[in-house]
Chain A
C-alpha cells in the first residue's frame, strides 16, 4: 500500500510544472473533518485541474454532496504527466485536493466522463491511487462510480467501474450516497451494497449483466444475471430544474482555469433535433430556469466569487424564453461592477441583435457560430435548421455591432457528404468575409479575423447517426487536405482541424462494447494517457493495443450497423426511442428535415416519462 507523506509531496511540488494545480486552498473550497463524515466521496475529473475546474457538473455535484451534513466531497484531478511520473517514482498515492487524503481511503471514488479520450486517465488515476483497476479485483476499498454523458454507453469501462449513474445527477447522487451510507451503517457486504445501489433508478451495475456475441462479432444478447438488476436501465430526469439545487458559491481557482467565470445554467435540453448531436438527444426534455431564479443565482455567485465574467450556459441559449430580459437585466445590474456577460453556444438561427448589443456593453468577446455544414442539402441531412441567409444576417448584425472576430465550426465526414459540401464551406467563409466589407468602414471594427474549424464527425450512441460508420482515416485526411486547399483560396481565413486519429479512437469508444475494455487496458499499459492532448497522444501505443487484443478498430469506428443489430447501449432507456432514432436516420438519408418539437411533437419518446415533456 502506498503511504502519503506531506513532506515528500512538498518536495515534489518544488520540481513539477504548475504546482498550484495540486495545492488547493481556494476560496469556497469546502473543508470538513474527514473522519466525521458518514460517507466520503472523491470527485475525480479525469483531466487536468484547469480543465476540470471549468466544468459545471463537478461544481453542481460537489455542492450537492457537501450540502448533506453527513457527507463529504473532495476533488481530485488527473496529475499532469510530470507529476504522475514523480508520484509513481516516490510511491506517493493520488490524493484529494482539500484534505490531501489518498483516494483509497474514500468510501466512493466517482469519475465524470465528459469525453471518451479521458478513459485512460480514469485507469491512470486509479492506478496512481493504488486502487486495483478491475472491479473483480476489489474486495474492499472504495466503490468506483462514474457518470456524465459518456456513461450512456458505459460498456468500454464496464470491467473497471462498479456503478454507473445515468442521467441527471442532482437527485440520483443524493440517493446513491444515502444508500452507501445506509449499507455501511448496516454492515452490508460489498456485493449487497452494489445490489442496493442497482435498485435506484438510473443506476447500472455492470457486474450484474452478461453479454454474448455472434460469430460476426456483433452483440447476440445482453441481460441481467442478478435479481437486483433491472433489464432496462432508465435515465434519471430532474423534472423541475428551477427548484433543483445549484451552487451559491463556486470554488475560485488561483491558477487560471480554461473557463474561469460564473456559469448560469439557464436551460437543460434542446428540442432542435440536430441529428449528429448527442447532447441534444440525451438531455431532453427542455427545462428552463426562471428569470428570478437566475438573477438570484447570479447575485449570490457574484458575491461569493468576485468573478469578472458571467456566462450563460445551455445547448441552445437563443431558445431560452426570457433571453433578452435576462441579458438586459444582467448587463444593467453588473455593468457598474465591470462584469461582462457572454453568451456561448449561440445557435445562429436564434440570434437576437438586441442581446448582442446588450452583451457587449461591458467587454467584447469573439463570436462563435456553428453552421456545421457548408451546403443547405448537408444541413438538411443533419437537421441543422439554419440557412445561409440566417448566418449572413447574424454575422452582419454582429459586424454592425462592432464585432470583428468570428469563429465558424464545421464538421467533415458527415453522412452523404460530397465534394460539393466541402466547397460549400469555402463559399460560406467567403460570404462571411464579404458581409464584413458590406458594413461601412466607419461602423465596423477594425481587424477582421475569421477562423474555420473543421472537426471530424464521430457517430454517437442515442443519435440518429448511431448506425453510421465514420470515414476511414485516409478519406478523412484527403478531405482535410481538400478543405485546406479550398480555404487557402479564401483570403483572410484561418483554418484548423482536429487530429483524425483522435476522432477515430473516439469513435471506437463512443460505440464500443465490453471488448473495448481490453484495448483500453492494453493501451494504458503501453503508456497511453492524456490522449486528448495532442502532445501526449500516443497513436502507436493504441494501434499496438488493438493488435495485441485482436480487435479491429474498423469494426467499431467505420462499420455501418443495421436496423436489427443489438447495440451495446440498447439496454439503456435514454428517453428517445430506437424507433424514433431510426426514423430520423432514414429521413436524414433523404435529406428531409424534422422541425423543432416545440412546434409539434415528433414522438421522440420523452412523452413516456410522465409529466416531463411540456407542450407549450
Chain B
C-alpha cells in the first residue's frame, strides 16, 4: 500500500530547499509512528518521493508526495499521526491510500497552477497579460544543461487569469517533456510590458495537475 500525501509548505518555509524539505518530511514520518518502508542496503532510508521539487523561495499550497508503507493503515489514522508530527508551517492537507501499482505522481504530472503577486510595475505587468495571450509565439531564453536556448513557451502557458489589482493566476506546463518556470513567464510579461528587467513578485504554487488538469492526488 502507498499513501499519497498532500501538504502545504507555508510562506515562512519558502526558503527551505528541496533537499532540506525531504529530510524534514522523512523525520516527520519517522516520529509519526506510521508504518513506513525503508530501502534495502548499506544506508537504509525512507522510500518517499515527491511529485515535483519546489523552487527555493516559493511556497506551495497543495504539494504531493508518495509514501510506500510496510503495513496497512487507514487514511484517517495516517493523517492524524502525520498531522501531529508536522510543524505548523508544514501541515498535512489530505491523504489518499492507493495500491502499490498505482502510478507514481511524478509520472502523472502534467502542469502546475500558480498564484503570483506582482510587487513592482504592477499595472504594466497586469496590462500585458491579454496581449501576451493573444500571441502565437512567445520566445524565451530557457536555461538548459547545455546552456541557454531560445524556446517558444506559448504552448506551455495554458491559462493566465487576473485576480485583482496586484495578483494573477496561471497554469504552466510541468512535466518531463516541457516545463515553463514562473520566471520565464515573468520575463515574457516584462518584455511585453516594455520593462527592462523582471519585476519583483511572489509566486505560490497552488496545485499540481495531471492529465485533463485533474489535481494529481485525485488521479
Interface residues of A (CB under 8 A from B): 11, 13-14, 19-20, 23-29, 31, 252, 254-256, 302-308, 337-338, 363
Q: Which residues of B contact A337 (CB under 8 A)?
A: 30
B175 at interface, CB cutoff 8 A: no
A14 and B201 CA atoms in complex are apart in Å by 11
> Do B57 and A14 touch across chains, with their CB atoms under 8 A apart?
yes
Q: Would you give the shortest CB distance from A122 to chain B, in whole angstroms?
A: 27
How many A-B contacts are there with CB distance less than 8 Å? 68
**Given known contacts A303-B33, A306-B26, A255 and B20 CB-to-CB distance under 8 angstroms:** yes
Are A363's CB and B43's CB within 8 A? yes
A305 touches B16 (CB 8 A): no
Inter-subunit contact A307/B27 (CB<8 Å): yes
Contacts of B32 in A (CB 8 A): 306
Q: Map CB proximity to A onto B66-99 as digits: 1 under 8 Å, 0 otherwise.
A: 0000000000000000000111111000000000
- In the bound assembly, the distance between CA atoms of A306 and B23 in angstroms comes to 10
The reply to whether B21 and A254 form a contact with Cβ atoms under 8 Å apart is yes
Q: Which residues of B are in contact with A by a Cβ distance under 8 Å? A: 10, 12-13, 15-17, 20-21, 23-24, 26-33, 38, 43-45, 57, 85-90, 200
A252:B24 contact, CB within 8 angstroms:
yes
Q: Ordered nearest first, which 8 A-B pairs have the shortest CB separation?
A: A306-B27, A306-B30, A306-B31, A25-B89, A19-B15, A27-B87, A254-B20, A25-B12
Note all chain A residues with C-beta closer than 8 A to B45. 338
Measured CB to CB, the nearest residue on chain A to B15 is A19
Q: Which residues of A contact B29 (CB under 8 A)?
A: 306
Q: Are B15 and A13 in contact (CB under 8 A)?
A: yes
- Known contacts A26-B87, A363-B43; is-contact A20 B27 (Cβ 8 Å): no
Known: A13-B15, A20-B16, A338-B44. A25 touches B30 (CB 8 A): no
Assess whether B17 is in contact with A305, with CB atoms less than 8 Å apart: no
A305 to B85, CA, bound (A): 9
Query: Looking across the interface, which residue of chain B has its beta carbon closest to that of A14?
Result: B57
Listed A/B pairs (25) with beta-carbon separation below 8 Å: A11-B200, A13-B15, A20-B13, A20-B20, A23-B15, A25-B10, A25-B87, A25-B89, A27-B27, A27-B28, A27-B85, A27-B87, A31-B88, A252-B27, A254-B20, A254-B23, A255-B16, A255-B17, A256-B23, A303-B31, A304-B31, A305-B27, A306-B29, A306-B31, A338-B44
A258 CB to nearest B CB, Å: 15
Chain A residues with CB under 8 A of B10: 25
Nearest CB in chain B: distance from A515 CB, A: 43
What is the distance, in angstroms, from A24's C-beta to the closest C-beta of chain B? 7
Which residue of B has the minimal Cβ distance to A19?
B15
Q: How far is the CB of B41 from chain A (nearest CB, A)?
A: 11
Contacts of A11 in B (CB 8 A): 200
Contacts A338-B38, A363-B43 given: A254-B30 contact, CB under 8 Å? no
With A20-B20, A27-B24 in contact, do A254 and B13 touch (Cβ < 8 Å)?
A: yes
Q: How far is the CA of A27 from the CA of B31 in the complex (A)?
A: 11
Q: What A residues does B33 contact at CB under 8 A?
A: 303
Q: A25-B10, A338-B44 are in contact. Are A20 and B28 (CB under 8 A)?
A: no
A531–B12 CA distance with the chains assembled, in angstroms: 31
Extra contacts besides A20-B20, A23-B12 (4): CB < 8 Å: A14-B57, A25-B90, A26-B87, A305-B31
B38, B43, B44, B86: which contacts A27 (Cβ < 8 A)?
B86
* Bound CA–CA A19/B86 (angstroms): 21
In the assembled complex, the Cα of A230 lies from the Cα of B26 at a distance in Å of 52
Residue of A nearest to B26 (CB): A306
Checking A25, A256, A338 against B13 with a beta-carbon cut-off of 8 angstroms, the contacting residue is A25
Contacts of B38 in A (CB 8 A): 338
Residues from chain A with Cβ under 8 Å of B86 in the complex: 27
Shortest CB distance B59–A (Å): 11
Question: Which A residue sits closest to B30, measured CB to CB?
Answer: A306
- Residues of B near A255 (CB, < 8 A) are 16-17, 20
Known A25-B12, A25-B88, A254-B16: A302·B31 in contact at CB below 8 Å: yes
Query: What residues of chain B lie closer than 8 Å to A26, measured between beta carbons?
Result: 87
Closest residue of chain B to A339, judged by CB?
A: B30
CA distance A305 to B20 in the complex (A): 15
Provide the bound-state CA to CA distance between A23 and B21, in Å. Answer: 14
Closest chain B CB from A250 CB (angstroms): 11
Task: Report chain A residues within 8 Å CB of B12.
Answer: 23-25
List of A residues within 8 angstroms of B27 by Cβ:
27, 252, 305-308
The complex places the Cα of A27 from the Cα of B90 at a distance, in Å, of: 9
A24: B residues at CB distance < 8 A? 12
- Closest CB of chain B to A297's CB: distance in Å? 15
- Closest Cβ of chain A to B166, distance in Å, is 14
B89 to chain A, nearest CB (A): 4
What is the minimal beta-carbon distance from A335 to any residue of chain B, in angstroms? 10
Q: With the chains together, A35 CA to B200 CA distance in Å? A: 34
